[in-house]
Amino acid sequence: MALSALHLYSKDRSRSELFDRACYLQGIAIQLVQPVIANLRQEDSLAALMFSSHTSAFGLAEYMLNPHHDDTDPIDKIVECFQLSRGIKLVVSPHWSYLSQTWINRLFHSGSGNEDRIRTSLASIFPTYPMVRSLAFGQEDAERRKCCLETIEDIFTFIGASMQHPQDYPTSAHLIDQWAVKLPPVFKDMLVERKPIALIILSYWAVLTSINPRPWHLKGLAEVLIARIEDILGEEWAEFLRWPRESIIKNARAEQDASAQTPRFGDCSVDSRLHLHVERSTIP
């Protein structure tokens, strides 16, 4: 219901009460789920996993739509959402055997064959892949070097899979979330420290979030991120950010063209029944 309220607000910014209602509902949801997460049972693990995904989506959407923006650095917000994704992974990890027997197991294996094929030819698909990878080899710390090499390979693979085989994934956000869940803790540390290699890798994640059809809760995020990363790194790193910036601009234009040409008969990304509940609910 909190996400649904934000979705309604994203379509009509004059209705500021929807934003307030969304934040209230999200706060209640977190209060209710905390004792469940603290003593997670097997039968609750699937719900906890889905809740974490929705909470991460809410955090990014709330940041982009906040009418009272507090000037939070978008990279800090991304780090917060990445930590949430990794945190829930650790919480539910004891129940993976159970989860693998549920319907969600199909999501873990969606498009994996395509990803394997793309991994073997990244250098030929993406001319910038060797250039970005060379930055990883320049890391003196072995753990950080390994982390960067793995995250670079994953993000290029996911961009390729999303561009070439979008029909093989349940939603356009599938690979976006999957990359965040896989991130090792050291990458978060590098983002907090604003290490150039980590910011450049993040710029490619921004490209992934901009590929159409873009999830509604991520609209505009790629543009905000690339602008902030360019501001931090400056002209010295402009060549490494050229392809991400051009790709994000290209995808944004394609999104605008598609929106202008396609009649809108409603958006099925959020259940209409939740919309009705949100419209009828009141804040005590």
pTM beyond 0.85: no
pLDDT at 262: 60
Q: Of 42-46, 72-76, 183-187, 266-270, where does mean pLDDT reach its minimum?
A: 266-270
In a domain, 71, yes or no: yes
In a domain, 101, yes or no: no
Q: Is the pLDDT of residue 230 over 70?
A: yes
Over residues 64-72, mean pLDDT: 78
Which pairs count as long-range contacts for 40-48, CB under 8 Å and 24+ apart, including other chains? 40/91, 40/92, 40/95, 42/95, 42/98, 45/92, 45/95, 45/98, 45/99, 46/99, 46/102, 46/104, 48/88, 48/91, 48/92
pLDDT tier at 123, thresholds 50, 70, 90: very high
Q: Is the pLDDT of residue 282 over 50?
A: no
In a domain, 103, yes or no: no
* Nearest of 134, 194, 130 to residue 156 by alpha carbon: 130
Q: Which structural domain range is residue 123 located in?
A: 2-95+111-280
Q: Summarize pLDDT for 74-120 with one digit per residue, the tens.
A: 999 999 888 887 767 777 778 878 878 887 766 665 556 788 889 99
DSSP the chain: -HHHHHHHHHH-TT-HHHHHHHHHHHHHHHHHHHHHHHT--GGGHHHHHHHHHHHHHHHHHHHHH-TT-----HHHHHHHHHHHHHHHHHHHGGGHHHHTTSTTHHHHTTTHHHHHHHHTTHHHH-TTHHHHHHHHHT-SSHHHHHHHHHHHHHHHHHHHHHHH-GGGSSSTTHHHHHHHHH--HHHHHHHHTT-HHHHHHHHHHHHHHHSSSPPGGGTTHHHHHHHHHHHHH-GGGHHHHHHHHHHHHHHHHHHHHHHHHS-----TTS-HHHHHHHHH----
pLDDT at 228: 96
Give the total number of structural domains in the chain: 1
* Nearest of 164, 132, 168, 138 to residue 151 by alpha carbon: 132
In a domain, 160, yes or no: yes
Rounded to the nearest angstrom, the gap between the alpha carbon of residue 99 and the centroid of all alpha carbons in its chain is: 22
Q: Summarize pLDDT for 190-199 with one digit per residue, the tens.
A: 999 999 999 9
- CA gap 253, 92 in Å, rounded: 39
In a domain, 105, yes or no: no
- Considering only residues 277 and 30, tell me which one the structure prediction assigns the higher pLDDT: 30
- The residue with tokens 């509604």 is 216
